[in-house]
Amino acid sequence: MKKKRDWATIAGVAVGTLAYFKFAPKMTAEPEEKPPEDTPKAYCLREYGNLTDSQYAIKLLDLDVLYEKGNMDDAIYNARRNRLRYCRIHSAA
């Protein structure tokens, strides 16, 4: 019985070694480069176009009016307001 276990151990080590050499190049390869993240200015241009500071202010006021009329949920209002303020700040840069 002991001889079977010795051969099984050797066979197991051999299979493990072959599997390692087969998959090792795939595991050690460098990850693919991700495309560069959008810059704030590119994001805002894509979402709102090329707006001036006063046009962002008008959009914020319109958003406030819609919220006060009850046409918008709190979470949606806060998300849109924060996005507009973010783009307003980064459009000047």
Identify the burial level of 86 via C-beta atoms within 10 angstroms of its C-beta, where 0-12 means exposed, 13-18 middle and 19 or more buried. Answer: middle
Local structure of 65: helix, strand or coil: helix
Over its length of 93 residues, how does the chain's per-residue pLDDT go in tens digits?
555 567 777 788 888 887 777 776 665 556 666 666 677 788 888 888 888 889 999 999 999 999 999 988 999 999 999 999 999 988 765
Q: Does the pTM of the predicted model rise above 0.85?
A: no
Q: Where are the domains of the chain?
A: 1-30, 40-92
